[in-house]
Structure 1
Amino acid sequence: MRPFHEGVELLRLRYRELGMTRLLPPERVVIGTESADTPAWGGFHHPNQGYRHLQMRALITMYGPLTSTPQNPSLAALDLLRSYAHDCLHYGSYRSYRLHDGEIVRSRYGVNFRRPDGRTYSAPDTVDTPGTRNLGVVMEGACDWEARAVTRRAAERCGIQEPGGLDRFAYRDSTGLLDIADVRQLTSRQRLSPQAGAARFLESMGRYTTAVNTRYAWFLDDAGPEEGAELHAEVLRALVSGSVSDLCTWLDVRHGPGEFLARFRAPSY
């Protein structure tokens, strides 16, 4: 568990810089280690894993075959760290709720807005777009970008080397090293593992990477090689505080007045 504990110390310092003073409490995290589904493969891309905002609870599964003992303990610890770091940011994100027609409705999450009838501030990205103009994708991408950066630093501190086989994809994914060639393999029709659960896990990894991480990387690259890190930090600070003023100012200075609205707001909103 050393990589996990090393990583938690790193993210505690980093998240404090972003304005987040409290991490997701461990007692609000449930970790699944076994499954009645024999071929089940756990990890960040396991079906239905993630943070539940209304219950304020994170559901995480152990990386690898869900048979009670991790097949690769170091990699399982890194995957756990990535999941926890990711869900900490969801837990720490600003949100507001309202009562609408007798139901609780989340009207605000981070820098994203939602009408009571369900209309969101941004329109979904089209399938063929390389980047994103959707605030939901931007926020999810920012959370995972940061979580993978922390995981990469923890792996370096602990001297964990890239393994072979399908574990190689999980290591590169958790540490933010997955490249275009890897994604092509993951999204091809080639079956990368004979184990059914592992094959589904890798397919899910490919879909998530294409829909979220690749688009968020394009979003940062579009700001310029030197300003991408600045923009990323602005997004995270806005996500935690709920204030978009600094992010709007940052965009306005570089692209002109009203850039946030012009870039992200859907006509239907």
Structure 2
Amino acid sequence: MTKISDIMEYFETFAPLTTQMDFDNSGLLVGDRDNTVKKVLLSLDITKDVVLEAEELGCELIISHHPVIFNPIKHMGTHDPSYLLANKGVSALCMHTNLDLGTEFGVNVALANAIGVHNVKLADIGECLFIGSLDTAVEMKNFAQNVKAALNCSGLRYTDLKPNVKTVAVSSGAGGSNVFEAAKLGADVLVTGEIKHHEINAANSLNLNIIDAGHFKSEDIVILPLIKRLSDRFSNIIFTKSKSYSDFIKYV
């Protein structure tokens, strides 16, 4: 029988918990590491609907990217995900910045692979910032369209100060703060999931193009490759991607 601890030990081979950032709260946040598992649900976040979906599917464990418990809990209602997890007997294993920083496999590596960025390396500056390159230089508009298609985005934001791009910086989720570091590394474009107005202005001043694909789309791309990786390692466990949680942002 496979225990949660076995899955945690496997994560240690490519996304060790010791690499998580200081502010983070990755790890087994609900449940007992000695619990056995036969079915696991994977989701970017753990919401009420995700917990109920896990219960319906008979999953003993949910693996998420974002921690279900991040800030100190001062009150817990009956509809709060943490309460529901404990009440339903479903464990929660949350792999956040340690999975962002994975160099063999992780969120940013999966994002880079999906959009055609090769020779990806973790930068020695910035936060969760990776750098790589396209096979050949492409027009910025075409690259933005390729990213939109690869991530199945309904829409995305981009700038095109540089008409052509080849060197690509990648920082999934809220990576807009890396504009200065991306420019210092010689990137033509920074692909991220969130960037603020003043960060776009800074990127413009640095002649750095940006692509804002949305937080969900820039990180959800890791779920299916992670399911394959876990399924290859634990063939006796059924790993399933959540159907109840998706990108709720609409475009007009």
Short-chain TM bin: 0.3 to 0.5
TM-score, length of structure 2 as denominator length: 0.32
Structure richer in strand, relative to its length: 2
Structure richer in helix, relative to its length: 1
Structure with more relative contact order (C-alpha pairs < 8 Å, separation 6 or more): 1
TM-score, length of structure 1 as denominator length: 0.31
